[in-house]
Every structure is written in C-alpha cells, then in structure tokens.
Amino acid sequence: MSVENKVGTYHFVAEPFHVDFTGRLTMGVLGNQLLNAAGFHATERGFGIARLNEEEHTWVLSRLAIELDEMPYQYEPFSIDTWVENVYRLFTDRNFAILNKDGKTLGYARSVWAMISTVTRKPADLMALHDGCIADYICDRPCPIEKPSRIKVKSTEPVATLVVKYSDIDINGHFNSVRYIEHILDIFPLEMFREKCVRRFEIAYMAESYFGETLAFYMDQEAGTDSYDIEVRKESGEAVCRSKVTFGN
C-alpha cells in the first residue's frame, strides 16, 4: 500500500463562531476537527466507531498533543492529514499534520488511542481486531513534534473549579474530550492570549467524569518558562485529566 493510500486528508474552514477574540481558530475546535479527521480516516478503513460498536468495542482517546506555528484565521480553509504511526497490543499512535489552504504546514499533532470492550469497559487487544489488519495502515510519514510527555502537578490549591453541566457531556454521558480543552484554556487570563499564542497543547485523559460532579483545576508553572502543567481532579482527589500548555510568541 502506498503512503498516499494510508494518509487521509480532510478539509475544514475556520468558522466565525469557532475563532477567538484574536480571530484565530480555537484550540478546542482544532481538537474537535482532529478527532473528526481520525473518525473519517478510521471509518473509511473499516475500523470506525460505528463498526466497532457493532462488535461491542469502541475507541477511547488517551492522549493528544498539538504543536503549531500558527492557527488558521477566521474564514480560512485548512486541511488535516492523518495516518497511523504504530499499533501496539493495547494502544495505537495516530498522527496529524495541519496545513493551510496553500499546503503550507501550520503544525502537527500526535494522539494515542486504546480500544475497549463496550460490555466490560476493559482494554481490548488491537491485534485481534479484524485479524490485525489495522497494522496494514501503519505509515512512516514523519511527525516532527515531541511525543506526549508525562505530566505531574504538585499544587494543592485549585486555580478554578467547575460543576459539570449539560453542555459538557457527550453521548456516553461522560465529560466531552473537547470541552476539557476549552475549560483548561479558560484558566488563563486574557492577556496571555493577547500577548502570546498557545504553541503546544497536551492532554492526557485518565478517568471519566459525569454530570453534576465538581472538578478542580490545579496548576504548576514550570520555573522560568511559559509552560504550565495542569491537573483536573474530582472532589475525591482522583485525577480526570492532565494537560501541559506552552505559550510562545
């Protein structure tokens, strides 16, 4: 199979209600479009969520890291290329490139996915899926950004809290993966976004959270940098997700 057949390309536009006050696409919307691209690519190759659901399995996003030089501006078309980098027994790595309308690369993203049984909610063996044919799509196109890192947060004083609302939850009744991105960026003062841009955004999903739960956001700034480590915890102290946000000029 040629590289061309292994890479899917999907086209989008930066819609007016999907840009922030600087006119640039929001990280939450970009995250959503990356996940849409992943869904299209997997569906076209026979391992999309709908087909998996029929077989009592589903995909679970474990980690996402996005690194960009520039976000598309309001009304600008952009495209997302996506491909499978690796398939392990319990995880698969899917990468992305984000391109502007002229084909210039704006940035890259990496994601890590697990497959779980919808019956037992336990991880399932990816090599057992359709006789391991997912591995046929492994592609060696480079993705020149760092892999998702290990994030640790020591802070014991929350910088923000929220109660999970109707708009936050997805079809599974869980906190929507994209909403976390929005809520995490909402921690920062507006000046951060006025003076700088988010150059790298990482998120690791650890546990599900549900309607009505109170979530607290804890944050450590990495000394001497514009990098922030964030952990979202339930009242019990359980971590639901961790994120690293790096601002740049």
- Which residues in this chain contact a copy of itself in the complex, by CB under 8 A? 15-17, 19-23, 26, 28, 32, 35-36, 39, 49-50, 74-75, 165-167, 169-173, 176-178, 182-183, 185-186, 188, 190, 193, 211-212
Supply the minimum distance, in Å, between the C-beta of residue 150 and a copy of itself: 26
Supply the minimum distance, in Å, between the C-beta of residue 165 and a copy of itself: 4
Q: Decide: 69 and 106 in contact? Cβ < 8 Å.
A: yes
Nearer to a copy of itself, 13 or 127 (CB): 13
Nearer to a copy of itself, 19 or 87 (CB): 19
Helix residue ranges, H only, 134-209: 177-185, 190-195
Q: How far separated are the first and last CA of the chain, in Å rounded? A: 41
Supply the minimum distance, in Å, between the C-beta of residue 112 and a copy of itself: 18
Supply the minimum distance, in Å, between the C-beta of residue 247 and a copy of itself: 13
The residue with tokens 């976390």 is: 180
Tell the burial category of 194 from Cβ atoms under 10 Å away from its Cβ (0-12, 13-18, 19+). exposed
Nearer to a copy of itself, 38 or 139 (CB): 38
Closest to 44 (Cα-Cα) out of 14, 80, 82, 79: 82
User: H/E element holding 35?
Assistant: helix 27-44
Nearer to a copy of itself, 139 or 178 (CB): 178
